[in-house]
């Protein structure tokens, strides 16, 4: 010991002891860390939430009935099965359910068997992919617990089911994912900018003198009767009404799709109340037939206004002449485009 002490001066010995102490402390800390990490439970089967929705590029939902939905982000829009734009409000509800879902509690072990059987039998599979098509999450959504608050979830490949919920929401999350194409589709039939409209034609088969066309002429529009055989109104047009009418096409939507309605074919075969056709400046055309749901025949735009005064929920069926879709909507949405030719020449008092 004395030889060692002679070899190292006091300063050198202090540094040596300090190095040895640091090494020992580091080794002890590493051992404790290893022991604590090894003892941690695996929680990967409970990480259902997608915290950054901006990363999500696709959501795939598969039901046990064989119907599936592939929701793909394209720019600022979500597209359903490469066919239809998704309803932004409905899509927001789905994304919120992906982000805000939390574990509510772990069900009892005695209930595992029943829960897993239910998930296997009628569970919805949800897969979430990032913008590079890499799988982020994959899990199943089952039924509800007895209090009907929350849902049973299980991560794909896991054995532990959970009851999950959204803290600010009371009810079942399954309904946000258990949707058909028609339920998820965007419901606008017209969503137009005036600068992109080339022409509009509005034809009332039972009241032709109220039918009209609007055509672009340079940077403005011209109004004329629907047919050349119809007499034109020669008195001055009410200022601003034509521009106001065109602006009304910025947002016209329907209530719902009724493609499975049994009476659809007979309704479409009947004479429509009005046919509206729009051509855009890029050459694309939209055309819809509107069929009344009123029990008595409505003749032209004035008749619709009178019927609406009697029936506060006056509705029309809408048939898309391009896609074949069949829909329904309220007159109070349509009345701003259900004008007649004479309406553009109304007095200020009207």
Interval 58-96: pLDDT, tens: 999 998 777 899 999 999 999 999 999 999 999 999 999
Alpha carbon separation from 278 to 200, 246, 281 (Å, rounded): 5, 11, 10
Q: What is the pLDDT of residue 328?
A: 97
Do 325 and 193 belong together in one domain?
A: yes
Residue 81 lies in a domain: yes
Do 154 and 125 belong together in one domain?
A: yes
Do 292 and 241 belong together in one domain?
A: yes
Taking all residues of the chain, what is their mean pLDDT, rounded to a whole number? 88
Residues 214-260 have pLDDT tens digits of: 999 988 999 999 998 888 898 888 888 999 999 999 999 999 999 99
| Residue 21's pLDDT band (cuts 50, 70, 90) | low
- Residue 318, both tokens: 């809408």
Do 192 and 173 belong together in one domain?
A: no
Do 204 and 314 belong together in one domain?
A: yes
Q: Which helix (H) or strand (E) holds 72?
A: strand 68-74
Return the percentage of the chain with pLDDT > 90, whole number: 66
Do 84 and 129 belong together in one domain?
A: yes
Q: What is the pLDDT of residue 11?
A: 60
- Judge contact between 300 and 275, C-beta under 8 A: no
Residue 23 lies in a domain: no
E strand residue ranges, the chain: 56-62, 68-74, 77-80, 84-85, 102-105, 124-130, 135-141, 151-155, 162-165, 188-190, 197-203, 212-217, 220-225, 252-253, 256-257, 274-280, 285-292, 315-320, 326-330
Residues 271-286 have pLDDT tens digits of: 999 999 999 999 999 9
- Round to whole Å and give the CA distance between 208 and 1: 119
Residue 215 lies in a domain: yes
Do 316 and 196 belong together in one domain?
A: yes
- Judge contact between 36 and 30, C-beta under 8 A: no
- Round to whole Å and give the CA distance between 344 and 236: 9
Mean pLDDT throughout 312-331?
A: 94
- Round to whole Å and give the CA distance between 225 and 289: 19
Which string of DSSP letters, residue by residue, matches 162-230?
EEEE-TT--S-SGGGT---HHHHB--EEE---GGGEEEEEEE-TT-GGG-EEEEEETTEEEEEESSTTS
The answer to whether the pTM exceeds 0.85 is no
Residue 328 lies in a domain: yes
- Phi-psi domain of 186 (left: phi exceeds 0; alpha: psi -120 through 50; beta: other): beta
Last residue of a domain, one of 157, 184, 211: 184
Q: What is the pLDDT of residue 71?
A: 98
Do 205 and 319 belong together in one domain?
A: yes
Last residue of a domain, one of 184, 200, 224: 184
Q: What is the pLDDT of residue 122?
A: 84
- Round to whole Å and give the CA distance between 221 and 279: 13
Do 266 and 242 belong together in one domain?
A: yes
Q: What is the pLDDT of residue 117?
A: 86
Last residue of a domain, one of 184, 199, 219: 184
Q: What is the pLDDT of residue 15?
A: 58
Q: What is the pLDDT of residue 26?
A: 59
Tell me how many domains the chain contains.
2
Domain of residue 220: give its range: 188-345
Q: What is the pLDDT of residue 3?
A: 47
Do 162 and 208 belong together in one domain?
A: no
Q: Give the residue among 206, 199, 283 at the shortest CA–CA distance from 249.
A: 199
Residues 120-158 have pLDDT tens digits of: 888 999 999 999 999 999 999 999 988 888 899 999 998
């Amino acid at each position: 010991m004395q030889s060692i002490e002679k070899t190292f001066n006091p300063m050198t010995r202090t540094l040596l002891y300090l190095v040895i102490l640091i090494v020992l402390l580091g080794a002890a800390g590493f051992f404790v860390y290893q022991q604590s990490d090894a003892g941690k439970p695996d929680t990967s089967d409970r990480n259902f939430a997608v915290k950054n929705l901006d990363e999500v590029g696709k959501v795939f939902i598969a039901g046990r009935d064989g119907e599936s939905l592939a929701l793909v982000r394209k720019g600022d829009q979500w597209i359903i099965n490469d066919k239809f734009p998704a309803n932004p409000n409905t899509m927001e509800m789905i994304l919120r359910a992906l982000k805000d879902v939390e574990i509510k509690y772990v069900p009892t072990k005695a209930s595992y068997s029943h829960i897993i059987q239910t998930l296997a039998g009628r569970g919805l599979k949800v897969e979430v992919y990032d913008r590079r098509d890499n799988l982020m999450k994959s899990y199943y959504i089952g039924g509800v617990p007895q209090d009907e608050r929350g849902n049973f979830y299980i991560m794909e490949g896991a054995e532990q089911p959970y009851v999950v919920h959204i803290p600010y929401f009371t009810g079942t999350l399954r309904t946000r994912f258990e949707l058909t194409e028609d339920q998820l589709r965007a419901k606008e039939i017209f969503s137009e900018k005036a600068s992109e409209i080339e022409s509009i034609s509005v034809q009332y088969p039972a009241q032709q003198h109220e039918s009209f066309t609007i055509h672009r002429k340079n940077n403005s529009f011209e109004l004329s009767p629907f047919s050349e055989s119809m007499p034109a109104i020669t008195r001055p047009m009410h200022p601003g009404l034509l521009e106001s009418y065109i602006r009304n096409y910025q947002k016209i939507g329907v209530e719902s799709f009724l493609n499975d309605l049994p009476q659809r074919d007979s309704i479409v075969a009947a004479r429509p109340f009005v046919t509206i056709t729009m051509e855009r400046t890029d050459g694309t055309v939209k055309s819809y037939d509107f069929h009344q749901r009123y029990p008595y025949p409505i003749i032209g735009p004035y008749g619709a206004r009178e019927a609406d005064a009697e029936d506060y929920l006056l509705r029309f069926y809408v048939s898309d002449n391009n896609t074949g879709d069949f829909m329904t909507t309220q007159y109070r949405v349509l009345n701003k485009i259900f004008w007649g030719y004479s309406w553009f020449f109304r007095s200020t008092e009207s």
